[in-house]
């Protein structure tokens, strides 16, 4: 199960991601997106975040997004196109604000506000990157070390071995052995092939990837994972702040922690760094983490 993956399949997965982020424009503020054929029962939240950000970016010129705040309202159906309606809320001298609503079957399933800013100088400081192994020293997707595979339940192993557009290299493999641990998790990630140079593509791919592992960190303190069949997990909201330029096709460290889980909701935070230690983004998310084994 640790054999090498087909490079052509990996490239195809990334091509598919870039394709689903290339929304069809229906009207001035109306866009249509599709979902990949993955066999999932509902649309991946990161996909909707990424597509909504694309829709917002298509209505703004000369400014990059610096933050987005989103709520997931209903599960998305992967076999139905998603309509993204953009509300041009504000076009100011320095900042631009957009609101995006994702719609299926006439109902909103997701809403997001995004803010854009002109490029301007200012004060500059950032938290330091955690001291963790570099990605080259870690087994990558499809090439896990035997000791790492031994710690992974079958559902977790299948997730990391799945063909995907983003290469994920977790640092703390022992997190999956079922032992409660301090709720911290580090993952190196990058697109599996070179992306176009358009910065918007890199912003939207990062928005997609920021939802891949974050909610799961809220269960580390309890020795559980979102892959546990008794856990009902779903993202409720998602916030992303973009601090500095980056490329999503170069290694980025996603440093995650979970300061609180209560009321069947897990709260997680993330800081994203380049391998040189430059903080490029921050993330926060709350999600449903309900133990179905305790229901009834």
Nearest CA-CA partner of 208 in 171, 182, 235, 245: 235
Q: Which of 35, 235, 256, 258 is catalytic?
A: 235
Q: Which of 10, 210, 268, 285 is catalytic?
A: 285
Q: Which of 167, 203, 211, 228 is catalytic?
A: 211
Is 235 labeled as catalytic in the residue annotation? yes
CA distance 157 to 136: 20
Is 51 labeled as catalytic in the residue annotation? no
Give the number of other Cβ atoms within 10 Å of residue 91's Cβ.
14
Q: Which residues make beta-bridge pairs with 112?
A: 70, 100
DSSP 36: -
Decide if 185 contacts 213 (C-beta within 8 A).
Answer: yes
Nearest CA-CA partner of 133 in 170, 183, 167: 170
Decide if 215 contacts 227 (C-beta within 8 A).
Answer: no
CA distance 97 to 84: 16
CA distance 283 to 271: 6
Is 211 labeled as catalytic in the residue annotation? yes
Residues taking part in catalysis: 211, 235, 285
């Amino acid at each position: 199960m640790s054999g090498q993956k087909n490079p052509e399949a990996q490239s195809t997965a990334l091509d598919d991601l870039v394709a689903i982020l290339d929304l069809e424009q229906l009207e001035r503020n109306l866009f249509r997106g599709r979902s990949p054929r993955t066999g999932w029962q509902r649309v991946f939240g990161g996909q909707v975040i990424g597509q909504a950000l694309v829709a917002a970016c298509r209505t703004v010129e000369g400014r990059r997004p610096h933050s987005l705040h989103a709520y997931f309202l209903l599960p998305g159906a992967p076999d139905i196109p998603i309509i993204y309606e953009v509300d041009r809320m504000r076009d100011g001298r320095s900042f631009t604000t957009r609101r995006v609503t994702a719609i299926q079957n006439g109902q909103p399933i997701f809403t997001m506000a995004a803010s854009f800013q002109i490029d301007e100088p200012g004060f500059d400081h950032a938290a330091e990157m955690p001291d963790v192994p570099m990605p080259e020293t870690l087994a990558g997707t499809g090439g896990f070390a035997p000791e790492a595979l031994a710690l992974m339940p079958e559902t977790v192993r299948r997730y990391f071995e799945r063909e995907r557009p983003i290469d994920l290299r977790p640092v703390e493999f022992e997190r999956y052995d079922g032992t409660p641990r301090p709720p911290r998790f580090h993952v190196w990630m990058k697109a599996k092939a070179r992306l176009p140079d358009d910065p918007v593509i890199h912003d939207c791919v990062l928005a997609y990837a920021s939802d891949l592992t974050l909610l799961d960190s809220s269960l580390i303190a309890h020795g559980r994972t979102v892959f546990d069949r008794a856990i009902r997990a779903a993202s409720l909201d998602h916030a992303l702040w973009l601090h500095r330029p980056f490329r999503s096709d170069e290694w980025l460290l996603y440093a995650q922690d979970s300061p609180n889980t209560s009321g069947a909701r897990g709260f997680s935070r993330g800081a994203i760094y380049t391998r040189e230690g430059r903080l490029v983004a921050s993330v926060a998310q709350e999600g449903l983490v309900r133990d179905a084994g305790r229901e009834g």
